[in-house]
C-alpha cells in the first residue's frame, strides 16, 4: 500500500494526540495515557520551531496513520548524530507505513543532513519494530535495564544504531598531565550563579574536554546552565578555598522514566585529579538519588577508553550496558562511549 509522507505542521497536533493515545502506540513508546491536545500541541509547536527537529507524517488519504521524528543532537561534538522515533496507528501496523516513514528518515539523514550516526531506543519485546530497524541497517549496541514503566512494570530497552561506513576511529592519547595544584582540603556544596567563572575555567581544561562532550574555548554564556540549573536538576560543586575543582550534574527523569536519574556530567579540574574529588561528588549524588529522590536507576556515559572513570563508576555499583559506536567527535575522529547504569 502506498502512503503520502509529508512534514508535520501545527495543524496536526490533534491527529498526533489521537495517534499517541492509542493503546498499541502507547505500549511501544513513552506516551502517557490520556494526553491532552492542548498540552501536546504546545510542546509540539515548540519542538517544530527548533531547527534540529524534523517531524514527518504518513497519510492514507486524509488520515494520519503514522508519525516519525528526527532530532539532531545539540552538543556540537555530537552534531553528526540524530535520534529517531516512530509511531504507527494500531489499525495500520504491518501495512508498510513504518517502512515508508523510516525510508524517508534515512534518506533525509544520509542525503540531505550528512548525518553519520542514527540511534534509537526500542523495548526489547517489540519484535516487529526491531525487525524494521534491522532492515535499515540498525544494530543492537546494548540493553538499558528497567528503562521505563509500562503497565505497572519496569521494562528493558535496546539501544540500536546505524553508522555510515568509513568513520575514522579516534585512537589519540589523552592530553599530558597537568601540573598539580597545591594540596588543600575541599568541600561540596550546591552550584551558585557566582560559580560561573570557575565552572567555565574547569570546563576549559584539556582533560575535562577529552572526557566530556564540552567544546574547546567555551564562553560563560555557554556554561550558564551549570551555574543556574533548570528546576529539578541537582548540581554539586567541589571547592577548595576560592578554587572550583569539580562538578557533578544529576537530572531526574519524568513521567514513565521518573524512576531514572541521568548523571549528565562528572568532571574534575585537571590540576585536582587523584584527590578523591570525583569519588566524593559521585557519592554525594548517589546519596541524593537513593535517600531523597528514591531513584531506582542511575545512568551515565563515559568515553570507552577512559579506564579511570570506568573503574570509579564500577566501584560504586555501575555496570556497562552498551557501547555506542562513533558517538563523540574527538581529535578530528570519532570515539566510542560506554553507557553504564546502577540499579537499586
Q: Residue 144: give its domain's CATH number.
A: 3.40.630.30
Q: How far apart are CA 58 and CA 197, in angstroms?
A: 48
- Closest Cα to residue 261, out of 233, 229, 219, 299? 299
Q: Is 168 contained in some domain?
A: no
Task: Specify whether 216 is located in the same domain as 140.
Answer: no
What residues have CB less than 8 Å from 254, skipping those under 6 apart?
none
Q: Is 270 contained in some domain?
A: yes
What residues have CB less than 8 Å from 65, skipping those under 6 apart?
3, 58, 59, 88, 89, 91, 92, 97
Task: Specify whether 129 is located in the same domain as 202.
Answer: no
- Closest Cα to residue 170, out of 327, 322, 308, 338? 327
Task: Specify whether 145 is located in the same domain as 197.
Answer: no
Q: Is 173 contained in some domain?
A: no
188: left (phi over 0), alpha (psi -120 to 50) or beta: beta
Q: Is 176 contained in some domain?
A: no
**pLDDT computed for residue 248 by the predictor:** 98
Task: Specify whether 13 is located in the same domain as 131.
Answer: yes
Q: Is 178 contained in some domain?
A: no
Alpha carbon separation from 336 to 130, 266, 305 (Å, rounded): 23, 18, 8
In this predicted structure, the answer to whether residue 192 has a pLDDT above a threshold of 80 is yes
pTM: 0.94
Q: Is 138 contained in some domain?
A: yes
Q: What's the total number of domains in the chain?
A: 2
Domain boundary among 122, 147, 163: 163
- Closest Cα to residue 211, out of 174, 186, 180? 174
50-59 per-position pLDDT tens digit? 999 999 999 9
Task: Specify whether 131 is located in the same domain as 40.
Answer: yes
Task: Specify whether 218 is located in the same domain as 128.
Answer: no
1-37 per-position pLDDT tens digit? 789 999 999 999 999 999 999 999 999 999 999 988 8
Cell representation of residue 214 = 564540552
Q: How far apart are CA 259 and CA 231, in angstroms?
A: 17
Q: Is 181 contained in some domain?
A: no
Domain encompassing residue 159: 4-163
Task: Specify whether 150 is located in the same domain as 199.
Answer: no
Q: What is the mean pLDDT of residues 182-199?
A: 96
Question: DSSP class of residue 242?
Answer: T
Residues 145/82/263/273 CA torsion (nearest 10 deg): 120
Confidence of residue 286 (pLDDT cuts 50, 70, 90): very high
Task: Specify whether 129 is located in the same domain as 51.
Answer: yes
As a whole-number percent, the residues of the chain with pLDDT over 70 amount to: 100
Q: How far apart are CA 156 and CA 297, in angstroms?
A: 12
Domain boundary among 128, 163, 198: 163
**pLDDT computed for residue 107 by the predictor:** 97
Contact 180, 208 (CB under 8 A): no
Task: Specify whether 147 is located in the same domain as 83.
Answer: yes
Residue 130, φ and ψ in degrees, nearest 5: -60, -40
**pLDDT computed for residue 269 by the predictor:** 97
Contact 169, 333 (CB under 8 A): yes
Q: What is the mean pLDDT of residues 212-232?
A: 92
Q: Is 171 contained in some domain?
A: no
In this predicted structure, the answer to whether residue 300 has a pLDDT above a threshold of 80 is yes
Domain boundary among 118, 148, 163: 163
Task: Specify whether 329 is located in the same domain as 194.
Answer: yes
Task: Specify whether 311 is located in the same domain as 203.
Answer: yes
Task: Specify whether 142 is located in the same domain as 208.
Answer: no
Amino acid at each position: 500500500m502506498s502512503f503520502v509522507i509529508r512534514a508535520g505542521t501545527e495543524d496536526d497536533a490533534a491527529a498526533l494526540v489521537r495517534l499517541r493515545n492509542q493503546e498499541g502506540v502507547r505500549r511501544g513508546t513513552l506516551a502517557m495515557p490520556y494526553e491532552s491536545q492542548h498540552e501536546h500541541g504546545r510542546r509540539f509547536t515548540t519542538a517544530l520551531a527548533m531547527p534540529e527537529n524534523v517531524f514527518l507524517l504518513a497519510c492514507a488519504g486524509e488520515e494520519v496513520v503514522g508519525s516519525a521524528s528526527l532530532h539532531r543532537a545539540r552538543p556540537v561534538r555530537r552534531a553528526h548524530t540524530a535520534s529517531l522515533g516512530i509511531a504507527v496507528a494500531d489499525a495500520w501496523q504491518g501495512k508498510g507505513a513504518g517502512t515508508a516513514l523510516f525510508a524517508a528518515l534515512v534518506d533525509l539523514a544520509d542525503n540531505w543532513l550528512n548525518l553519520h550516526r542514527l540511534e534509537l531506543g526500542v523495548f526489547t519485546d517489540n519484535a516487529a519494530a526491531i525487525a524494521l530497524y534491522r532492515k535499515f541497517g540498525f544494530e543492537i549496541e546494548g540493553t538499558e535495564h528497567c528503562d521505563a514503566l509500562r503497565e505497572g512494570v519496569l521494562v528493558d530497552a535496546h539501544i540500536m544504531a546505524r553508522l555510515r561506513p568509513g568513520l575514522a576511529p579516534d585512537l589519540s592519547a589523552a592530553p599530558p598531565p597537568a601540573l598539580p595544584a597545591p594540596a588543600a582540603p575541599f568541600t561540596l556544596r550546591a552550584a551558585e550563579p557566582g560559580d560561573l567563572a570557575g565552572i567555565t575555567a574547569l570546563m576549559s581544561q584539556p582533560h575535562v574536554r577529552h572526557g566530556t562532550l564540552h567544546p574547546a574555548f567555551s564562553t560563560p554564556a555557554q556554561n550558564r546552565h551549570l551555574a543556574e540549573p533548570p528546576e529539578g536538576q541537582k548540581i554539586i560543586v567541589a571547592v577548595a578555598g576560592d578554587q572550583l575543582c569539580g562538578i557533578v550534574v544529576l537530572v531526574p527523569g519524568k513521567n514513565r522514566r521518573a524512576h531514572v536519574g541521568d548523571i549528565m556530567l562528572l568532571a574534575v579540574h585537571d590540576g585536582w585529579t587523584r584527590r578523591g574529588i570525583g569519588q566524593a561528588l559521585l557519592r554525594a549524588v548517589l546519596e541524593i538519588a537513593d535517600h531523597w529522590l528514591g531513584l531506582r536507576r542511575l545512568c551515565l556515559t563515559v568515553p570507552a577508553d577512559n579506564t579511570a572513570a570506568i573503574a570509579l563508576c564500577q566501584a560504586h555499583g555501575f555496570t556497562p550496558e552498551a557501547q555506542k559506536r562513533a558517538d563523540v567527535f574527538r581529535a578530528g575522529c570519532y570515539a566510542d562511549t560506554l553507557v553504564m547504569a546502577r540499579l537499586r
